Each structure stands twice: as C-alpha cells, then as structure tokens.
Structure 1
C-alpha cells in the first residue's frame, strides 16, 4: 500500500544539536499513529518539519508520493496537510463563525468574488455552521475568537482543520490546557475522524490513556531518533522504551 505521508531520513540541526536525526516513517490512510517520547525528544520539531514550519537540514517529506520538502507551510496545507498547533492560531478579532467560514472558503478555492450570489455564500456558511455543531461551538458562533476561553479556542482550532478537510490530520497535544469536561469533545472528534478510515491521523500526546485508546500504532522518538515503531501493546512493553522515560515505565506516563 502506498503511503499517504512519508518522511525519509528527515533531519534538522540547530548549531551542533541534532533535534531530529534521520527519522524515516510512512503513514497510511485509515491509521492513527501516536508519536510519543520524553520532553525534548523531538516530537513537535518533527511535526514542524512535516508541516513546513521549519526547513529540514536534510531528508525529505513526501505526500502521496510527491516530494513537498521545498514547499512552504501554506502550500503544504493546500496539498492536504492539516496541522493543529499547541498554541492556537486563530483570527482573534473575527467571530467564531467567520474563522471557520474562511477555512471552508479556502477549501472551495479562495476568496469569494464580489458578484457571487448570496446562495453560494449561504452554502459556505451552512458548512461552517455544521462544523461548529460538530465541535459544540454553535452557541458561540458570534463570539470573537479572542473572547473564547482556552478550551473553546482549542475546539475552534480543530474546527478550522476540519473545515479544510485535509488528507492528513496532525494533532499536537490537542487536549493540552483543557478542563476534564472539555477533553471528551476533542477525543470524540478524533474518534469520528478515525472511524471514517479515509484519513491519515498523527497525534502527539503525553496522556498514555489517550494513546492506548486511540492509537493503531506508536512511534517513539528519543533524543531526536526513532526508538521504536509498532503496535501499542508491543511498543509500550519494550525495555528500551520504558528506560527512555528516565526510570519511569510507560504505564506510569510520559
């Protein structure tokens, strides 16, 4: 089976420090891969290399067989890479609905023409409202994004990615900073995406109970290198994985 997303010997050096060191992985549609490792292991940097936020020193990123290593982040997004950041990236002065409508509009081909008929715009608004309903933000559609509490901003960020309908969903600690009551909403959305079986999902997550439940596969990074790659039950029992967590076991957390 051809990989939807693939990294080959992906490497980034900051001076004398190698943050990601020749990481090669292939990711397929219908699979949720959890990327775990101790703090400083290179997980978010690996995400940044894939999504184009930083340029690799060497190696490549391929999307559906095409080398996209030379493309900036916005063009990678247009090709089908969706990235939810640890820090929310929103249009703070626009309403929740307008944030999502702009994402829907971008997926449909850019800015509306001034002479576009109202029904065409209505279609975009309807799609945006459906996404807001999915993330349970429909009652805050008119609220400026900057006025949302942190947990709702995270939900809005996921809504923006859903509105773009990418081939690859990249979640970087999607539940970070959320209250206990808010976490299930995001996890339910990820479960729904996984059930579709047509999306490739990458998840950086520290909560091992979440990883156990959602992951089809676990990739472990340690000091920028690929330490282990396989099914969750097997990977979490590997002595080299457990010892990488500075004396704690994977059962105890990351």
Structure 2
C-alpha cells in the first residue's frame, strides 16, 4: 500500500534520536522494514498501527533489546546501532516495558533506589555503599511521591496491584533521568481509576522541553490526549508521519490503521 505521509511538526531543534532504514528480519519475515524517522526534544510521538505492525519490535530495535539486520540508530548524532540495551540506557535512552520489568522480591523503595544508584554510576548492586546513602534514599522517595506510591514504599513489589506496578515503572524511568523516554502501552491492564495518574505523569514529562518521548499506544483516547505527532506502522513499514489532526483525518489511515469509531478500543 502506498505511504500516506503528512507534514511532520516543524521544529528548529536537532533530533535527539534518529533511525535510518532500520530493518529486522526473522527468517524470511521482515518485521520492521527500512523505517527512517527523527525524534526531537519537547515532542511526544505516539506510534500506532494494527496488530503485528511492528510497533514493539521497532521499540526493541531503538532501545537495544533486538539487534538490527540493517540500518542504524543514532542518539544525538552518534551511531549506537551496535550498543546493547544497558549501554543505551547509560547514554540516555530509558524504557518502561509493556510487561513490567521489576524486582518483585524487593520493596518499592529498593526498586527505585537501584535506579537512582545506577544513574549515579554505582551499578545495580543492592548492597553498594554510597557515601551519601541518605541522599540516595531521599531521591528515590522523591520519585515515589511523584507517582503517588509513597504510602507503599515498604511493600514488596510482587504484592502491588498491576496498576501500581506500572506506576512504579514510571518512577524508575524518571529516576534514570534519561533524555529519551519510551513508554510501551503504559496504561495496559490498568483500571479506569488508575489511568489518570499515569497520563498526568506522562504529561508532566512532556512539558519538559528537554525530553524526547516515544509512546506505543492503541487506545485512541490516550493518543488524542497526549500526541504531538503520530507515526503509523503497517507490515513493518512507516506509512504515515505527521501532526495528529492531519494523520487522523486521513480516511485510509483512520480506517485501516487507527480504527473506525466502532473499533477504536480494539487492540492495535
């Protein structure tokens, strides 16, 4: 199908993150097909598309969970294609996963403390000694307060509700203080009451003009609330890229990729 490209939002800033002809093949299947895109500070880009479109695979290529078959990933102009996920995090790409990626047998505060400790360059050793241990704890508590989890600081993560685990993931991502922040369906599995807290946190991140935010999402109400820009993938290829109004008003994109009003809440 021919690409439908809207005009991407104009920006004077240099891209913080870029992909060039980014491709991955699994046997004879091309899961992500030559995707080129620039992502800029102060812009929240939502990546949408039907099931199997390659959204999460593209995220995995950007964050380093998968190695590209061809093409490249650049962070502030630096080629990081051969760098692994841990290295990319240290360089400034942070990601919250669709499936929680936490330490269930540690407490809430301990999980965030490890992220603060990692950001300080002290590694992920739980018993590492830091000369300013109180400062480390204070910083961890600050991030817990931002996600409204202070009252659960001493609970084991495995005992948290799914919604609270997602909020904890956001706290950890904030604690890593990365310039590029990636959210993979951040409201998946949350109750209606839990969603607003996470959306407000993402809005707060979005208001920081120094942050570049990427979001995979299939709920169109969330997309409408948050997106500065929409990128549409289909069969692994980029088929639309532009301001939300321009992309969503395109009939073929709305019907084939974003969903008609009757199917908006179907999983993309």
TM-score (norm 1): 0.95
Number of the residue aligned with 1:174 = 186
Number of the residue aligned with 2:30 = 18
Q: 1:123: Cα distance to partner?
A: 0.4
Number of the residue aligned with 2:77 = 65
Aligned 8 A contact 1:11 1:22 in 2: yes
Number of the residue aligned with 1:131 = 143
Aligned 8 A contact 1:236 1:250 in 2: no
Q: Distance in 2 between matches of 1:159 and 1:250?
A: 33
Number of the residue aligned with 1:100 = 112
Gaps of 5+ in 1: none
Q: Report which stretch shifted further, 104-113 or 123-132.
A: 104-113
Structure 1 residues 250 and 11, CA, compared in 2 at 3 Å: closer, same or farther?
farther
Q: Distance in 1 between matches of 2:197 and 2:55?
A: 24
| Number of equivalenced pairs | 251
Q: 1:134: Cα distance to partner?
A: 0.5
Q: 1:80 aligns with which of 78, 87, 92?
A: 92
Cα-to-partner distance string for 1:47-98 (whole Å, 9 max, x where unaligned) = 0000010111000000000000000100000000001101101111111000
**Which consecutive aligned stretches of 4+ in structure 1 deviate over 6 angstroms post-superposition?**
112-115
Number of the residue aligned with 2:64 = 52
Structure 1 residues 222 and 115, CA, compared in 2 at 3 Å: closer, same or farther?
closer
Instruction: Name the SS of the counterpart of 1:244 in structure 2.
Output: helix
Q: 1:195: Cα distance to partner?
A: 1.0
Is 1:195 matched with 2:207?
A: yes
Instruction: Name the SS of the counterpart of 2:52 in structure 1.
Output: coil
Number of the residue aligned with 1:249 = 260
Q: Give the 5 Å matches for 1:161-240.
A: 161-240=173-252
Q: Distance in 1 between matches of 2:261 and 2:50?
A: 10
Q: Distance in 2 between matches of 1:32 and 1:245?
A: 19
Q: Distance in 2 between matches of 1:223 and 1:115?
A: 49
Q: Give the 5 Å matches for 1:23-38.
A: 23-38=35-50
Q: Distance in 1 between matches of 2:128 and 2:66?
A: 36
For the aligned residues, what is the CA RMSD? 1.6
Q: 1:249: Cα distance to partner?
A: 2.4
Aligned 8 A contact 2:48 2:257 in 1: no
Q: 1:116: Cα distance to partner?
A: 4.3
Instruction: Name the SS of the counterpart of 2:249 in structure 1.
Output: coil
Q: Distance in 2 between matches of 1:121 and 1:131?
A: 16
